[in-house]
Structure 1
Amino acid sequence: MKESTKFEWSKVSLITVAHFFHDIYTAFLAPLLPLLRDTMGFSLTFAGFLSVVQRLPTLLNPFVGMLAERTKARYFVIFTPAVTAVAMSLITVAPNKLTLILLVLISGISSSFFHVPSPVMMRKVSGNRVGMGMSFYMVGGELARSAGPVAALGAVELWGLNGVTYFIPTGILASLLLYFRLRNISIAEDVSSSHRLDYLKTFKSFFPLISSIALILFFRAAMKSALTFYLPIFLKSRGESLWYAGIALSILQGAGVLGTFFAGTISDKIGRRSTLLIASIGAPTLFFAFLYTTGWLQILALIASGLFLFATGPVFLAIVNEYKTKHSSFVNAVFMTTTFLIGAIMVMVVGLMGDYLTLETTYIVVGAFAFLSVPVVLRMSKK
């Protein structure tokens, strides 16, 4: 299949909508953590463990990528929103910790099957504007993470903990809609039989690039976990209300929408490395501004932080999906595995640090640590 150089707006929009429908449910976990901690009585370490459980299935991503090259992987994109919706909408009524872990794990498996093939699908319909296409893709996810906290907390406010389950039909209907609109978009590469078994060779050639990306992710991931996953708990520990904490998370994610929307397109114009450098300097600087301000200044700092914090996402996706290979789904899967595993480890580390050092001290440490990503970016190719 020869890929068009045309930017296909209708298909780009549909894939963006699919990303939104899926990720709005995974965004329920962070804002509901304070309520779940109150009802089940678990520590920050266990809260971090839940995030690890949700990301654990990413270990299977390379195999999902191989599978995506041999099957009609568009159906992964179509039906996973329904699976994730059911699992995440039931977490507030989980009778015990084991059930909660199981539900979060199911959502993680579903998420892997969505996130491996969907960027490849987006690349195929973005023509020669891959950065812009990945910006739209990431906007779908960030809009979901912005709307998710408000939706989840709104349901609890109106109907109690059981209210979150009312979102299940929406997820199922979303998958039905996607079935009728996305079922004809192909994802699988035109891979000849002689290229089907050279995954190890592909990984070896991809390793220098993914190792640089992994280092940048490593230095930034703790700060990102602190400012997203733990933000409601952090603000509540400072005496803010649950609603304020949830709205603050939505504001951050909303700013992230703008950051992801513009970053990919900007990187098409000024280069991937230049965009990464700006984001790597700007994010931790504004993170400290958030820590040491209050009131409206703090909200403004949070918005500015979101712009830079999420800007790297579409740039990394563009870099990975522009990599010349017959195994795009596999390469994308390796990237996704790297991203999610580093994120899972660091969210656990932040939880442990928060238990032993307090979240206030932890935030200072992770903000300083994020500046170490700058030298790594400077060593990357200018292309």
Structure 2
Amino acid sequence: MNVSKEGIALPRQQAFQADTVLALTAGHLVHDTFASFLAPLLPLIIERLGLSMTLAGSLAAIQSLPSLINPFLGLLADRVSLRWFAILAPTITASAMSLIGIAPSYGVIVLLLLLAGFSSATWHVPTPVVIARASGRHVGRGMSVFMLGGELSRFSGPLLAVSAVTWWGLGGPVRLIPLGVLVSVLIYWRLQDVVARPIHRADDSWLAAWRDVRWVMGPVAGISLARAAMAACLGTFLPIFLSQQGATLWQAGSGLSVIGLAAALGALVGGALSDRIGRRKVVGFVLLAAPLLMLLFLSVKGWVIYPVLLLMGFIFMSTGPVLLALVQDNGNGHPATANGLYMALQFMGQSLVVILVGVIADRWGLPAAFRLSGFMPLLGLPFLLMLRRPRPVNLSGKE
């Protein structure tokens, strides 16, 4: 494979480049492990600062706010290298997220989350493009493996955060910052061999990129938004919900880890399955199953909650790599820009929805918010029907 340090995208190969995919998957795991520290620490932060559910939910939205620059980063990644951004992201994210437990005020937490959010954006925009190029004809499989790292962080992040706080107090996560630095060093070493020159097209602009992807971006963004409320409940608000049900900090964090482990397996299976039976069928099944899963979760008590969380995570979270693969299937020469647009739309929608869930929880309680969120994915079905077959990907620069 011809490589260069001057860019971030790889010419698509016919063969599946396992070494590249696995290296970035490992980086994804560690980066997102630190990025996921907020949810398991929220019960402690709420207690220490006396926050309402709306303010607590707003913290998750604030962490996602820098994703609004994703289209800018995507367009930049289609033109120049974002190599150093990707290399430094694990260190920056680890540092910012490890400090939120000892931040003296809500305002300081906001600043730390904005820094972590910007760092996360610079990681998540260019790296899926590398994965897509390195996956050859198996984009769904490549995205599944890459997303496996991110989804496993839902398992490792809560356990690591809760363990650090239990052993060393609220300042304990600070001791973990060297792990992020080590990963940055390893990624620097690995990207010397895998980063290649970006692919340019004659009409390299946002307008050209939008013309290529607008027909798929609207439906995919609609589906993502329909999933957002239930995703917020199963992510940001799950530890708080379990704590209100009498769970200890360890039990609440374990619930988040259980659903994260199941989500990782679901992401791995979902993307590969979509390569075989089609992306629309996988997404459609999940949207229809969501209300039943949430009603089942709310109807059980005690230890039975954990097997149900396994089932919910495996099924509901399996659509992540499928939606990413849909976007990359139709990037048509502007893969990073398309990914940046999708990530911005996704995170903007999720940020608004997580605040809305907090408002509902403050007014009617978390159980009501969870129940309502379970039916929201059904609103994604009309958008699913709007999706057509993927257009051929043109990497030649010619129309």
Q: Distance in 1 between matches of 2:12 and 2:120?
A: 26
Q: Residue 195 in 1 paired to residue 203 in 2?
A: yes
2:136 alignment counterpart: 127
Q: Distance in 1 between matches of 2:307 and 2:177?
A: 34
Deviations 1:291-350 (A, max 9, x none): 111234322211111011211111011111111422111011001111111111111110
Q: Is the 8 A contact 1:75 1:183 kept in 2?
A: no
Identify unmatched segments of 5+ residues in structure 1: none
Q: Is the 8 A contact 2:25 2:145 kept in 1?
A: yes
Alignment TM-score, normalising by the size of structure 1: 0.96
Q: Is the 8 A contact 1:68 1:188 kept in 2?
A: no
Q: Residue 180 in 1 paired to residue 189 in 2?
A: yes
> 1:369 Cα deviation (Å)?
2.1
**SS of 1:361's equivalent?**
helix
Alignment TM-score, normalising by the size of structure 2: 0.92
Deviations 1:228-285 (A, max 9, x none): 1100001111122121111000000100001000000000000011111111122332
Q: Residue 242 in 1 paired to residue 249 in 2?
A: yes
Q: Is the 8 A contact 1:195 1:326 kept in 2?
A: no
Moved runs in structure 1, 4+ residues, more than 4 A?
Answer: none
Bigger shift: residues 303-312 or 254-263 = 303-312
Q: Distance in 2 between matches of 1:282 and 1:365?
A: 14
**Amino acid of the structure 2 residue aligned with 1:258:** L
Distance 1:343 1:210, change over 3 A: same
Q: Distance in 1 between matches of 2:304 and 2:385?
A: 31
Q: Distance in 2 between matches of 1:188 and 1:80?
A: 21
Show the 5 A alignment for 1:128-277. Answer: 128-186=137-195, 188-192=197-201, 194-196=202-204, 198-277=205-284
Match for 2:82 among 51, 73, 97?
A: 73
Q: Residue 305 in 1 paired to residue 312 in 2?
A: yes
Q: Distance in 2 between matches of 1:340 and 1:296?
A: 33
Show the 5 A alignment for 1:322-361. Answer: 322-361=329-368
Q: Distance in 1 between matches of 2:355 and 2:213?
A: 28
Q: Distance in 1 between matches of 2:378 and 2:311?
A: 17
2:110 alignment counterpart: 101
Q: Residue 381 in 1 paired to residue 388 in 2?
A: yes
2:375 alignment counterpart: 368
**SS of 2:173's equivalent?**
helix
Q: Distance in 1 between matches of 2:58 and 2:125?
A: 23
> 1:188 Cα deviation (Å)?
4.8
**SS of 1:153's equivalent?**
helix
**Amino acid of the structure 2 residue aligned with 1:210:** M
> 1:367 Cα deviation (Å)?
1.0
Q: Is the 8 A contact 1:74 1:185 kept in 2?
A: no
1:45 alignment counterpart: 54
Q: Is the 8 A contact 1:290 1:299 kept in 2?
A: no
Q: Distance in 1 between matches of 2:235 and 2:196?
A: 31
Q: Is the 8 A contact 2:297 2:308 kept in 1?
A: yes
Q: Distance in 2 between matches of 1:332 and 1:260?
A: 18
Bigger shift: residues 158-167 or 316-325 = 316-325
Distance 1:91 1:324, change over 3 A: closer
Q: Residue 115 in 1 paired to residue 124 in 2?
A: yes
